Amino acid sequence: MENERSEVLQSKRVATLTLDDGRSIEFPILSGTLGPDVIDIRTLSKLGVFTYDPAFFATSSCTSNITFIDGDAGLLYYRGYPIEQLAEKSDFLEVCYLLLNGELPTAEQKAGFNNSITHHTMVHDQLARFFNGFRRDAHPMAVMVGVVGALSAFYHDSLDINNPQHREISAQRLLAKVPTIAAMTHKYSVGEPFIYPKNKFGFVENFMYMMFATPAEDYVPNPVLVRALERILILHADHEQNASTSTVRLAGSSGANPFACIASGIAALWGPAHGGANEAALKMLEEIGDTSRVPEYVQGVKDKKYKLMGFGHRVYKNMDPRAAVMRQTCYEVLKELNLENDKLFALAMELEKTALNDPYFIERKLYPNVDFYSGIVLRAIGIPINMFTVIFAVARTIGWVSQWNEMIADAEHKIGRPRQLYRGAVRRDYLPMIKR
Ligand code: CMC
């Protein structure tokens, strides 16, 4: 992998930048295995200037071998495998193994990995006490940030981030325990007792069991719904250098422990422009309420009063490939539950049709993203709206931890430290209170 990487990074092509004072500098142009070339500007600071790209419209923040997106063509690959193939043929834990280790597992590797994850799903009993510190009506994402961060306090024996075995065990602990914490978060908010994991279940079944069983009543997961949730997890597992992943990498670049880093990712995911979009999209559909109100609502979007949630993406300027899979899953789930005439789904279809035929959306290349449909599926499964972004966090944990692991394993990694364009006051002297 190292050789591969240095080949990719060695380049004879250059880009030349000339400043208005006549000084110029040459930068190597680097090519990846797929995707656009990048200009390596790391030596620019020698001239005493920096680049300015606050929202990272034109900046690659790292080298990665994990996930590839072509936003114009609508392609998403995990370790080279198209997302459509993984969603159809694989299962979530196999995808996790792939993201973390780079290759699909053999039967033996898969059995070992599944066994290890299954046997790490319980959390330390002391962790359950953290929940009592939260109000019952706290948003589950607030609880997730706190409780996942608190995991840092439990595993002092394996927090040496420079030790690959410690990183592996931390990755497995996170992958196994985040769903347990997520289900506890739900149980706490509805006032039901926590349900402990059951090792006889697969990963997704177990999560549904912890969410929906009670001590009074067992829960038998419906295989169609298990498959639908499995797809949601696969589709959300990684998405290259998005806001939350970049947050995890930046936090991790300082040497912070993986549990704290993942908690920072959960915080970044919460926002409505990112992982909070599934919750916001469903609330939007509920607010519109009826297909007759679609034209009026779309006009409000065009008048910039609000955004159409579940639409648009920084990278995809074509159909989000995850959205196509999710749309199909939506049909399957609603059919299974005899909800084919579901009012919100009909509304979503009408909204999609209206937007896709409107010049405002066509000109800006705004298409439905995965979260336009995932909320409808999650709601049909019985997941409460305030848990939607938590489900995203359960899925994305593997992406965060794989990206964090890749960064720490890179011997050349350094602390991330952007610079700024300062526009504040110039030097001035302190004034005593009486003169202000
Ligand atoms: N509804 C209406 N107009 C929009 C939307 C939208 N959802 N998204 C972008 N635009 C407009 C935007 O107002 C701008 O118009 P103008 O050129 O007239 O100023 C133009 O399209 C370009 O948008 P932008 O804000 O510069 O795009 P961005 O790359 O900064 O933002 C985004 C990307 C995803 C934050 C944004 O599209 C958005 O807020 N979408 C709604 C929230 C959402 O669904 N997020 C989930 C993303 S997928 C899940 C994930 O990866 O987390």
**% of the chain beyond a pLDDT of 90:** 87
Provide the 10 A C-beta neighbour count for residue 26: 10
Note the pLDDT of residue 156.
Answer: 87
d(CA 238, CA 396): 6
Q: How far is the CA of 104 from the centre of ligand 1 (A)?
A: 34
d(CA 330, CA 54): 37
* Mean pLDDT across 109-116: 98
Would you say the CB of residue 242 lies under 6 angstroms from ligand 1? yes
100 C-alpha vs ligand 1 centroid, how far in Å? 30
Q: Which of 359, 14, 396, 355 is nearest to 240 (CA)?
A: 396
Residues 295-312 pLDDT 10s = 999 999 999 999 999 999
Give percent above pLDDT 70 in the chain.
Answer: 97
Q: Could you tell me the two tokens for 168?
A: 């592996």
Interval between CA 57 and ligand 1 midpoint (Å): 13
> Looking at the predicted structure, is the pLDDT value of residue 12 above 90?
no
Q: What is the pLDDT of residues 126-185, one digit of tens each?
A: 999 999 999 999 999 999 999 999 999 999 888 999 999 999 999 999 999 999 999 999
Looking at residue 151, its amino acid is L
Task: Point out the catalytic residue in the list 37, 371, 413, 429.
Answer: 371
Ligand 1 pocket: which of 270, 282, 299, 314 to mutate (most atoms within 8 A of CB): 314
Note the pLDDT of residue 11. Answer: 63
Amino acid, res. 197: P
**Residue of 62, 66, 93, 88 whose CA lies nearest to 77:** 66
Our answer on whether the CB atom of 308 is closer than 6 Å to any ligand 1 atom is yes
Q: What is the pLDDT of residues 335-386, one digit of tens each?
A: 899 988 888 888 998 999 999 999 999 999 999 999 899 999 999 999 999 9
HSE, CB side, 13 Å, CA atoms: give it for residue 415.
5
What pLDDT, on a 0 to 100 scale, did the predictor assign at position 9?
55
Pairing mode of beta strands 81-82, 75-78: antiparallel
Other beta carbons within 10 Å of 143: 23
pTM for this entry: 0.93
Confirm or reject: Cβ of 235 under 6 Å from ligand 1.
Answer: no
Q: Which residue has the tokens 């792939």?
A: 98
pLDDT at 322 over 80: yes
Distance of CA 246 to the CA centre of its chain: 10
